Amino acid sequence: MRSESTALAKLPALGANGPYESRTTEIVTDVTGKPVAQLSLVPWLFAQRSIRTLRRATPPDPARRRELLTEAGRLFASGTVDGVSPEAYHRTMAEVAGMPISIVRDLTGQVGDYAAAAYDAVHQARPIGAADSWRDHRTKQGSGVWTRRGEVLMVHAPANSPAVHQAWLDALALGYRVAIRPSQREPFTPYRLVAALRAVGYGDDQVVLLPTDHPTADRIISEADVAIAFGGDEVARRYGASTLIMPFGPGRSKILLTSGVDAEQHMDTIAESVAGHAGTGCVNATAVFVEGDPAPVAEAIAKRLGELPSLPPGDERAKLPVRQADTARAVDEYLRGKAGNAKPLPHGSSVVDELGDGSAVLRPAVFLLDHQDAPQARIEMGFPCVWIVPWKRDGDWLAPLRGTLALTALTDDDALIDALVAEPTIDKIHVGDHATTWTRPGLPHEGYLGEFLMRTKAVVVD
């Protein structure tokens, strides 16, 4: 995006030979329905040629990659990129994605910090017995060498948070060339990040931004060597069996509160888990399992979340996501249809709070369920929506906790923690007052991405 004027901005593709403005475009609107930018959509042949150019390119050497990523992260977070200041980017991102501007600002800084740490962080996944290069002295006796599974990574990016773009920085750190297909709803974050990388010295043949229609997006995946795709259950079903595509589906993150633990003492952690970062992420808790009576816990959570204000995304005090009003009403209708016999708190309330300008705040939804295997507990929404569920340590007590990205366990039971850590379908365990949203560079998300991008081969050098 090349200016901060009020005119409709043109957002070109960033191909392997520079910016490209297509005759086929998509209008990007803000949450009030106002047009903000004209996004160029590339045809299949352009995308195919770009990816083939990436495959022929040579990545910078490792020391240079570390330097470039650090510089790009600093520029992305706090510099002017392609004529756009950080403040203008924050404002546009908030208005288009409906994410509170203070959260956009925090996550922008988080992405910048991650870029600086990416080279070291990604190497946490390297097996201790493997070297980075065949030139390592260990190969004289024979050693494992950590190598890429391919040359080009394709990324199907979502619109829910700037933070999702940290993932493909790992691939650049490992020497992959990367093609990003951005969401048409929020292309500004990947555009800014790719433009920042190019501004500090990454070549056009190292990382490209390829906005496309959906049929072309599917074809791009088959053209790349490996891919990561974000989405819902459909994405997980479509790509889950492939060894060359890593799907990032729903997180279905959870909190477990065992008997004897005072929920009120941990309410900050619970509220942050549910509504932190506006409740839009896969690491936001969608269910709280309570050993004992869940009703008081549900009421306390509903009271705390009910205090969050309904404000437009550009307001510094905003904490909740905003959507176009008709979209928000459709979300509410979908949720009510799926809730079934779950008890809403407060009773019968809608999640839609219209702001009068064509947009609406999605207010927190809290539901009380009556048994631990209720199917509603697996419903994940793109705003703070949480199901409070009774839980008992009898029978297959692990069953309702399986299939979880992040689980915060508020318990002092070591044997229980042992079982949770051993459970293969739970990716992250936070014991005590660590919200499900908490992370830092170097920690695995759904495992280390490096485990997917790399392999170890035996090398012996005479």
Q: What is the pLDDT, as a whole number, of residue 1?
A: 52
Tallying the residues shown for the chain, one arrives at: 462
Q: What is the pLDDT, as a whole number, of residue 37?
A: 96
Q: What is the pLDDT, as a whole number, of residue 28?
A: 97
Fold held by 9-249 = Aldehyde Dehydrogenase; Chain A, domain 1 (3.40.605)
Q: From first to last of its 462 residues, what are the pLDDT tens digits of the chain? A: 544 445 688 999 999 999 999 999 999 999 999 999 999 999 999 999 999 999 999 999 999 999 999 999 999 999 999 999 999 999 999 999 999 999 999 999 999 999 999 999 999 999 999 999 999 999 999 999 999 999 999 999 998 899 999 999 999 999 999 999 999 999 999 999 999 999 999 999 999 999 999 889 888 888 999 999 988 778 778 777 788 998 888 999 999 999 999 999 999 999 999 999 999 999 999 999 999 999 999 999 999 999 999 999 999 999 999 999 999 999 999 999 999 999 999 876 799 999 999 999 999 999 999 999 999 999 999 999 999 999 999 889 999 999 999 999 999 999 999 999 999 999 999 999 999 999 988 889 989 999 999 999 999 998
Q: What is the pLDDT, as a whole number, of residue 200?
A: 98
Q: Which CATH architecture has domain 253-431?
A: 3-Layer(aba) Sandwich (3.40)
What is the C-alpha separation between 137 and 355, in angstroms, rounded? 65
- Residue 163 φ/ψ, nearest 5 degrees: -65, -25
Quick check: pTM over 0.85? yes
Strand partners, 457: 145
What is the C-alpha separation between 406 and 414, in angstroms, rounded? 18
**Contacting residues for 379 by C-beta, under 8 A, at least 6 apart:** 286, 335, 338, 385, 387
Secondary structure of the chain in the HEC alphabet? CCCCCCCCEEECEEECCEEECCCCEEEEECCCCCEEEEEECCCHHHHHHHHHHHHHCCCCCHHHHHHHHHHHHHHHHHCCECCECHHHHHHHHHHHHCCCHHHHHHHHHHHHHHHHHHHHHHHHHCCCCEECCCCCHHHHCCEEEEEECCCEEEEECCCCCHHHHHHHHHHHHCCCEEEEECCCCCCHHHHHHHHHHHHHCCCCCCEEECCCCHHHHHHHHHHCCEEEEECCHHHHHHHCCCCCEEEECCCCEEEEECCCCCHHHHHHHHHHHHHHHHHCCCCCEEEEEEECCCHHHHHHHHHHHHCCCCCCCCCCCCCCCEEEHHHHHHHHHHHHHHHCCCEEECCCCCCEEECCCCEEEECCEEEECCCCCCHHHHCCCCCCEEEEEEECCCCCCCHHHCCEEEEEEECCCHHHHHHHHHCCCEEEEEECCCCCCCCCCCCCECECHHHHHEEEEEECCC
Ordered by start, the domain boundaries in the chain are 9-249, 253-431
Are 253 and 407 a contacting pair, CB within 8 Å? yes
